[in-house]
Amino acid sequence: MSRRSRSSGVRGPNSALTEFLRNAGITDAYRQRREREANGEIVSEDTSVEPEGVNVNIEEAEEEVVAVEVVTRRSRSRRGVMAIPEQEEEEEDDEEIRQIKLAARRKRNARRGKNDNDNADEDEDEYDPEFSDFDDEIGTNGTKKFGEEDTCVDCGKEFHLTVYSRYLRDKKGYLCENCNEQLKDRERKARKNQLNARKKRRTLAQALLNKSEVRIPKLQDICIKKISANIDDVEALGDIGQVNLNKLSQILSKNRSLNDSTISLFLNPSLKSIEFWDCSNVDSDSLMKIASYCPYIESLTLFMCGQLHNDTLSYYNSHLKNLKELCLNGPFLISETAWQEFFEQSGSRLQKFEIRNTHRFSNDSLISLLENAGSKLISLKLSRLDGLDSAAVYDLIPHYISTSTLTHLEISYPHNEHLITDDLLINILAITGESLQSLNVDGCTNLTDNFLIDGISKFCPNLTHLSMKLLDQLTDKGFAQAFTEFSQVNNGGLLSVDLTKCIGLGDESVYALFKHSSHTLIELSLNSLNEISKDFLIQVFTNDLSEYKKSIKQSAQDDDQVVFYNHIRLPLLTTWDCGFVRAVDDEVLQLIGKNCPKLSVLEVYGNNRCTSRAVIAEGLMVIGRQNDSI
Amino acid sequence: MSSDTEYVTLVSADNHKFIVMKEVAQISSVIKSSQGFQEGETGKISLDMDGDILECIVEYLYYHYKYKDQAETGNIPEFNIPTHLALELLVKADFLDI
């Protein structure tokens, strides 16, 4: 058609590829001739319909050729430059293109066979890349047409072949309708299973992130869910027990649904202690209700209490006569004078005081607290108080606290690091170290080894909880020395230790820590202690009697470079964060599992040598491996 | 655990009786531990709760029994409880540790 149209000057619509092939002067005349020569037989029919054949050929080749169009383009540019005569050029043409054309030609032949019954247009429409091979087969077998009887390759029954019949490549035949339905069903199921498996993986990964296991909800959880959904309708929660009430309030806080209406459900005159972990939706009037409904409260914990006003605090001051413990997080509306007033009136009763996240708690407020309550305090927690910016005021702490009374002390994330010095903490510990059970100095980045050596290791015989995140000035040697000395003073052992991002620490410190507290440790964080070596971890978790350890012991005696570490077991350890300790890999994971029988949560974020292939002890949840991603 | 009877009878305060598979009843650790005592011999366990509450609890126990292996897939149906029983059920569920 193309040649004819060129002569007449009239052309019908044609595709870009047809245009291109025509411009490039590509016809299949040459290929046809060669084929004839090769076969040695001349199909007269073929020659008679040739012009039409060319067109179909081109159009069909187009459908297949998309992927290799680039190749074709390249050959075009070559052609443009060199202007090789058409026939020679054809010879050089890519093998690929020839293949495509060949396939297209076979298809055309097959179609021509069918054209006896169907008309050509329909044929065009039903072409489907998925069935591209099927035409070949038909062509070679020269078999059935649509509408004819065929035998099902699966069940062997006779059936009428239709356009919807499915061709099975591996069995080289069609399926009858029933078998096709069954096959479709199976495929659908397989797809569903695949989806389910994906969903399962996702739920598991999600649960892992929440540090929970996927399990059937407890009936209690279901009830609490139901109650919190209907909380507005429940007049009085009645007698469900304080434990459940607390649980409910925690759940409401977690859902951020504790508000003015729900808060009154938890207020009960007999209460002695109240904990609300998210008061952001509770306004100051409702907070006042706490004091009017529950006048006998001894312990009050309000977190996210940004709506707590001066007058609310003074109302507490005048109504809560038994208040001994006050923990506030984020009370940034309370002014200096209000604090002063509060401490002057209620300070003498206070035993526990915790305040976090407010810039209005100033130097004077702390002085006032110390003057009025300092000597009786058994728990003092000061965290992220940007208003406290005088080192001299911090230095007053040791002067006001009385000997051996404080059991919990937290001074964390000060306004700037120079406020908290080694000397300050050593002074405090010298006074009250004996009674201290928990010490938290997170983010006091000015602290050095001296604080450990002259402070903790000398004065803290009863310490069980130690948290010192981000103390980057601590050194491996200093920590190890301090803990070796510490074991002289404190032979009880620590229960929880947080050394997150104390990046100076390494094998020796961890070994000293294990030596001292391995039998008591329950929680441990060595996050980002990148200096820890794999060799150390393997030694520590391998039995001393093994051949490997014996040989190390031997070589340690001969060679100063080699260090021998004894076998350590951590019988009580339940939570361990060893994220970004790159030495932890699959092998170490397995050893950890063997030596920490109680371990249930192990975090390995950033340790990309921990893979899905690791052998993990039963009951241990390993969080943060790359393959767990959702 | 090894007993002739595979079933136990849970009796409510208002004398409704629920005959439950032992394995199912023992999902509750409280019921499980009561087996060592007189309740273990008679196969009868009296519980201080009303019939409608106990019915709910038995339903839950079977729900738990049925779906405990499928929990991981995350597509187990939700267990529904009547709203008006929620509070009391919570207390009893707490008691039975389920």
Lowest mean pLDDT among A70-84, A161-175, A217-231, A607-621: A70-84
The per-residue b/e assignment along A190-222, b for 16 or more CB within 10 angstroms, e otherwise, is eeeeeeeeeebbebbeebbeeeeebebbebbeb
With contacts defined as CB-CB under 8 Å, which chain B residues touch A200? 72-74
Q: Is residue A602 part of a domain?
A: no
Q: Per residue of chain B (98 residues), give pLDDT as tens.
A: 444 558 888 999 999 999 999 889 888 888 888 776 766 678 888 888 889 999 999 999 999 998 887 776 667 888 888 888 887 788 788 888 88
- Contact yes or no for B87 and A240 at CB 8 A: yes
How many domains does one find in chain B? 1
B94 touches chain A (CB under 8 A): yes
- Contact yes or no for A223 and B83 at CB 8 A: no
d(CA A133, CA A118) in angstroms, rounded, equals: 20
- Contact yes or no for A203 and B73 at CB 8 A: yes
- Contact yes or no for A216 and B71 at CB 8 A: yes
Question: What pLDDT shows up at residue A94?
Answer: 64
Nearest chain A residue to B71 by CA distance is A215
Last residue of a domain, one of A215, A238, A254: A215
- Contact yes or no for B81 and A216 at CB 8 A: no
- pLDDT tens-digit profile of A567-602? 999 999 999 999 999 999 999 999 999 999 999 999
A132 and A67 inside one domain:
yes
A208 and A129 inside one domain:
no
Angle formed by the axes of helices A219-229 and A242-254, nearest 10°: 60
Q: Give Cβ neighbours of residue A417 (< 8 Å, ≥ 6 apart).
A: A444, A445, A446
Last residue of a domain, one of A96, A111, A142: A142
A153 and A96 inside one domain:
no
pLDDT band at A260 (very low <50, low <70, confident <90, very high): confident
A101 and A123 inside one domain:
yes
Residue that wins the pLDDT comparison between B58 and A168? B58
Instruction: Give the gap in angstroms from C-alpha B63 to the nearest C-alpha of chain A.
Output: 9
Question: What pLDDT shows up at residue A351?
Answer: 94
d(CA B86, CA B90) in angstroms, rounded, equals: 6
Tell which of A213, A223, A248 to mutate to test the B interface (max B CBs under 10 Å): A223
Residue that wins the pLDDT comparison between A115 and B36? B36
In the predicted model, is pLDDT for residue A531 greater than 70? yes
In the predicted model, is pLDDT for residue A290 greater than 80? yes
| DSSP code, position B43 | -
With contacts defined as CB-CB under 8 Å, which chain A residues touch B65? none
A137 and A148 inside one domain:
no
Nearest chain A residue to B27 by CA distance is A218
Question: What pLDDT shows up at residue A228?
Answer: 75
Q: Is residue B26 part of a domain?
A: yes
Q: Give Cβ neighbours of residue A465 (< 8 Å, ≥ 6 apart).
A: A437, A438, A439, A440, A494, A495, A496, A497
Report the CATH number at residue B42. Answer: 3.30.710.10
Tell which of A203, A214, A222, A228 to mutate to test the B interface (max B CBs under 10 Å): A222
Q: Which helix or strand (DSSP H or E) is residue A159 part of? A: strand A158-160
Closest partner CB to B89 (pick from A204, A219, A243)? A219
What's the average model confidence in pLDDT over A256-275?
Answer: 84
Residue that wins the pLDDT comparison between A113 and B37? B37
pLDDT band at A44 (very low <50, low <70, confident <90, very high): very low
B21 touches chain A (CB under 8 A): no
Of A413, A345, A404, nearest to A376 by C-alpha is: A404
Query: What are the Cα distances from residue B36, in Å, to A516, B23, B32, B42, B43?
Result: 43, 15, 8, 11, 11
Question: What pLDDT shows up at residue A364?
Answer: 94
A124 and A79 inside one domain:
yes
Three-class SS of residue A594?
helix
**CB A146: neighbour CB atoms within 10 A?**
16
Of A145, A122, A147, nearest to A134 by C-alpha is: A145
A196 touches chain B (CB under 8 A): yes
With contacts defined as CB-CB under 8 Å, which chain A residues touch B73? 196, 199-200, 203
Q: Is residue A201 part of a domain?
A: yes
Phi and psi at residue A300, to the nearest 5°: -125, 125
With contacts defined as CB-CB under 8 Å, which chain A residues touch B75? 196, 199
Contacts of the segment B17-23: beta carbons below 8 A, 24+ positions apart: B18/B54, B18/B55, B18/B58, B20/B58, B20/B61, B20/B62, B21/B65, B23/B65
d(CA A261, CA A622) in angstroms, rounded, equals: 41
Lowest mean pLDDT among A202-216, A516-530, A546-560: A202-216
Query: Taking the mean position of all CA atoms in its chain, how far away is CA A475?
Result: 32
Taking the complete model, does pTM exceed 0.95, yes or no?
no
- pLDDT tens-digit profile of A473-491? 999 999 999 999 999 888 8
B69 touches chain A (CB under 8 A): no
Tokens 């150390």, located at residue: A536
With contacts defined as CB-CB under 8 Å, which chain A residues touch B98? 218-220
What's the average model confidence in pLDDT over A168-175?
Answer: 83
Question: What pLDDT shows up at residue A143?
Answer: 61
A155 and A123 inside one domain:
no
DSSP-assigned letters across all residues of A93-110 = S-HHHHHHHHHHHHHHHH
A6 and A136 inside one domain:
yes
Q: Is residue A124 part of a domain?
A: yes
What's the average model confidence in pLDDT over A159-167?
Answer: 83
DSSP-assigned letters across all residues of A266-326 = G--TT-SEEEES--TT--HHHHHHHHHH-TT-SEEEEES-TT--HHHHHHHHHH-TT--EE
Q: Are A373 and A344 in contact (CB under 8 A)?
A: no
Look up the domain containing A186 and give its range. 144-215
B89 touches chain A (CB under 8 A): yes
Alpha carbon dihedral A286, A292, A293, A299, in 10-degree steps, equals 90
- Contact yes or no for A220 and B94 at CB 8 A: yes
Nearest chain B residue to A218 by CA distance is B98
Q: Are A328 and A355 in contact (CB under 8 A)?
A: yes
In the predicted model, is pLDDT for residue A627 greater than 50? yes
Look up the domain containing B47 and give its range. 7-96
Tokens 């797809």, located at residue: A191
Mean of all residue pLDDT scores within chain A: 82
Q: Is residue B17 part of a domain?
A: yes
Residue that wins the pLDDT comparison between A214 and A317? A317
d(CA A214, CA A586) in angstroms, rounded, equals: 24
A134 and A181 inside one domain:
no
Tokens 């207020």, located at residue: A267
Tell which of B84, B94, B95 to mutate to test the A interface (max A CBs under 10 Å): B94
